[in-house]
């Protein structure tokens, strides 16, 4: 957001909120704003071009251990005062909890490369022409792929400021740019869809060509699929499918779920929860990570948290509240979707540590197995509370050490702990996906899961 003359900066808005605090009150303000452009193309034409400039402020008050929250879009300085009042009134209805405390805010070391001024200067015309080229690349990558559901190039410049009665303001800015495409393959009246994406800090670094080819290949290889027989088989999870699984596990690793009896891992710290091949790390300062930031969404410096080490559970992710209630420091994992939400616990860049085998080598070791390319119905079919999951899947048969005929209309089911302990190989091809934070996994071979089909 251009910090125009006459328009208060995000840091000014936060500072104003803090000044409105009365003696003994904790007041925190989070201000976010940015510019966003999204170009969608289809059939060689621009379908839509969206441009936006928005900002907002959320105020949290902590008064005698009671939390109140209020937010507004683009408030003036006077409206910020009213927000503090609204949050104060809300707090009166909440119940006190001694662990409701605001963290000390200190200047965190900046992360280099998070913001690229060059991206702010990219003209809309170039985004449009790139989007058109991107779609052309997808529809010329495979003879069975002649159209896309949509292809898009988008970018965002985002700025965040946080201040509280315990410090700040601290600020950062970032640029993000992404390409995504759903390619449609078609043969004999049957259609299949393949999704791919690419992420970067700026358009010049965005590797959209492999994404275009990948989407086409992923769609085309599913054509002619059949429903498999129901049976228990080894499963090879594609990095995207493994990430979907990890996103469910992430819910069980949240300090909040643990404290509130909603995690099957709650009492297992120090115990083996999975195969020795598994190490799981959250790294909020990962260079180039889309979930990286110098501080989390309540101003606490981000860091690196070892969650599972060679199969042994080492800990959970925390924000200030869940940390305080668990008797440990925040891990810098306070997260909010934007200024409208109270901080919860979110992964930053959460991933399995990659192994040494390539995806091809894993396929050679798998024996007769099912390769899962995409999963659907994750929000209804997988629970981080019960640990049970059953998701729809498309994929391919693995036989003779390679991918064979396609499979459709199947489900893959197991429990989180069974999958973790059943992991036989972890690949070297780690890839991050934007799924409620940035979550990454390589290709993973799991000993056995239930495939349901005919």
Does position 205 interact with another protein (CB under 8 A)? The reply is no
Contact 371, 398 (CB under 8 A): yes
Q: Which of 120, 388, 399, 429 binds another protein (CB under 8 A)?
A: 388
Three-state DSSP at 116 gives coil
Three-state DSSP at 384 gives coil
Does position 54 interact with another protein (CB under 8 A)? The reply is yes
Three-state DSSP at 43 gives coil
CB of 55 to another protein, least distance (A): 6
Closest CA to 162 of 286, 264, 300, 287: 300
Q: Which of 42, 126, 364, 424 binds another protein (CB under 8 A)?
A: 42
Chain length of the chain:
454
Does position 271 interact with another protein (CB under 8 A)? The reply is no
Q: Which of 2, 50, 271, 337 binds another protein (CB under 8 A)?
A: 50
Q: Which of 47, 217, 353, 399 binds another protein (CB under 8 A)?
A: 47
Does position 46 interact with another protein (CB under 8 A)? The reply is yes
Q: Which of 29, 84, 91, 237 binds another protein (CB under 8 A)?
A: 91
Q: Which of 87, 170, 241, 398 binds another protein (CB under 8 A)?
A: 87
E strand segments, 300-443: 304-309, 312-313, 334-335, 344-345, 349-352, 369-376, 388-399, 402-415, 423-426, 431-434, 438-441
Q: Which of 118, 129, 140, 230 binds another protein (CB under 8 A)?
A: 230
Alpha carbon distance 298, 87 (integer Å): 16
C-beta closer to another protein: residue 290 or 302 = 290
Q: Which of 8, 34, 69, 300 binds another protein (CB under 8 A)?
A: 69
Please give the distance of CA 148 from its chain centroid, rounded to a whole number: 24
Alpha carbon distance 133, 127 (integer Å): 10
Does position 409 interact with another protein (CB under 8 A)? The reply is yes
The piece of 239-247, 288-296, 404-412, 428-436 that touches another protein (CB under 8 A) is: 404-412
C-beta closer to another protein: residue 132 or 306 = 132
Closest CA to 453 of 210, 231, 293, 290: 231
Does position 64 interact with another protein (CB under 8 A)? The reply is no
Does position 81 interact with another protein (CB under 8 A)? The reply is no
Does position 53 interact with another protein (CB under 8 A)? The reply is yes
CB of 93 to another protein, least distance (A): 5
Reading the block at residue 366, the tokens are 């798998």
Does position 290 interact with another protein (CB under 8 A)? The reply is no
Number of amino acids touching another protein (CB under 8 A): 80
Q: Which of 22, 187, 232, 368 binds another protein (CB under 8 A)?
A: 232
Q: Which of 227, 287, 337, 401 binds another protein (CB under 8 A)?
A: 227
Contact 25, 165 (CB under 8 A): yes
C-beta closer to another protein: residue 90 or 290 = 90
Alpha carbon distance 285, 303 (integer Å): 6
CB of 142 to another protein, least distance (A): 15
Which residues in the 322-381 window bind another protein by CB under 8 A? 340, 342, 376-381
CB of 304 to another protein, least distance (A): 29
Closest CA to 413 of 235, 253, 281, 252: 235
Does position 210 interact with another protein (CB under 8 A)? The reply is no
Does position 70 interact with another protein (CB under 8 A)? The reply is yes
C-beta closer to another protein: residue 193 or 277 = 193
Q: Which of 26, 32, 56, 289 binds another protein (CB under 8 A)?
A: 56
Alpha carbon distance 302, 230 (integer Å): 45
Three-state DSSP at 115 gives coil
Alpha carbon distance 355, 224 (integer Å): 33
Structure letter (DSSP) for residue 107: P
Closest CA to 70 of 60, 56, 55, 81: 60
Q: Which of 12, 209, 385, 429 binds another protein (CB under 8 A)?
A: 385
Which residues in the 139-198 window bind another protein by CB under 8 A? 147, 149-150, 184, 190-193
C-beta closer to another protein: residue 2 or 140 = 2
Alpha carbon distance 192, 217 (integer Å): 11
- Would you tell me how many other CB atoms lie within 10 Å of the CB of residue 419? 25
Does position 101 interact with another protein (CB under 8 A)? The reply is no
Among the residues of 193-269, which ranges form H helices?
208-220, 239-252, 255-259
C-beta closer to another protein: residue 91 or 111 = 91
CB of 95 to another protein, least distance (A): 4
CB of 383 to another protein, least distance (A): 6
Angle between the 208-220 and 124-139 helix axes, to the nearest 10 degrees? 30
Q: Is the Cα dihedral 111, 285, 166, 161 positive or negative?
A: positive
C-beta closer to another protein: residue 28 or 282 = 28
Alpha carbon distance 288, 52 (integer Å): 25
């Amino acid at each position: 957001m251009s910090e125009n003359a006459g328009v208060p900066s995000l840091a000014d808005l936060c500072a104003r909120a803090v000044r409105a605090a009365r003696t003994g009150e904790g007041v925190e303000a989070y201000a976010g704003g940015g510019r966003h452009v999204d170009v969608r193309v289809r059939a060689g034409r621009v379908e839509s071009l969206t441009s936006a400039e928005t900002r907002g402020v959320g105020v949290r008050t902590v008064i005698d251990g009671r939390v109140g929250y209020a937010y507004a879009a683009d408030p003036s300085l006077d409206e910020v005062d009213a927000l503090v009042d609204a949050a104060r009134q809300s707090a009166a209805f909440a119940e006190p909890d001694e662990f409701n405390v605001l963290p000390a805010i200190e200047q965190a070391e900046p992360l280099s490369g998070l913001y690229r001024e060059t991206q702010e200067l990219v003209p809309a015309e170039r985004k449009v022409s790139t989007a058109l080229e991107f779609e052309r690349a997808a529809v010329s990558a495979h003879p069975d792929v002649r159209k896309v559901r949509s292809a898009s190039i988008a970018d965002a410049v985002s700025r965040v400021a946080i201040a509280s009665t315990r410090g700040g303001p601290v600020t950062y800015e970032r640029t993000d740019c992404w390409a995504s495409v759903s390619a449609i393959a078609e043969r004999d009246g049957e259609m299949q869809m393949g999704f791919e994406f690419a992420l970067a800090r700026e358009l010049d670094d965005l590797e959209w060509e492999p994404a275009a080819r990948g989407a086409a290949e992923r769609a085309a290889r599913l054509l002619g699929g059949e429903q498999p027989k129901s049976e228990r088989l080894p499963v090879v999870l594609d990095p995207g499918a493994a990430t979907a699984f990890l996103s469910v596990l992430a819910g069980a690793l949240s300090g909040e779920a643990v404290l509130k009896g909603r995690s099957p891992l709650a009492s297992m710290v120090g115990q083996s929860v999975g195969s020795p091949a598994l190490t799981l790390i959250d790294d909020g300062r990962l260079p180039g990570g889309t979930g990286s930031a110098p501080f989390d969404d309540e101003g606490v410096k981000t860091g690196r948290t070892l969650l599972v080490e060679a199969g042994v559970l080492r800990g959970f992710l925390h924000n200030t509240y869940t940390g305080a209630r668990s008797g440990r420091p925040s891990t810098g994992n306070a997260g909010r979707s934007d200024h409208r939400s109270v901080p919860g616990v979110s992964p930053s860049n959460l991933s399995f540590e990659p192994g040494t085998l390539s995806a091809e080598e894993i396929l050679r070791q798998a024996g007769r197995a099912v390769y899962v390319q995409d999963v659907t119905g994750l929000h209804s079919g997988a629970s981080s509370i019960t640990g049970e999951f059953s998701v729809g899947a498309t994929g391919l048969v693995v036989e003779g050490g390679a991918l064979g005929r396609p499979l459709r209309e199947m489900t893959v089911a197991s429990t989180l702990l069974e999958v973790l302990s059943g992991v036989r190989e972890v690949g070297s091809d780690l890839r991050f996906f934007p799924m409620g934070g940035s979550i990454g996994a390589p290709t993973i071979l799991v000993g056995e899961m239930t495939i349901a089909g005919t």
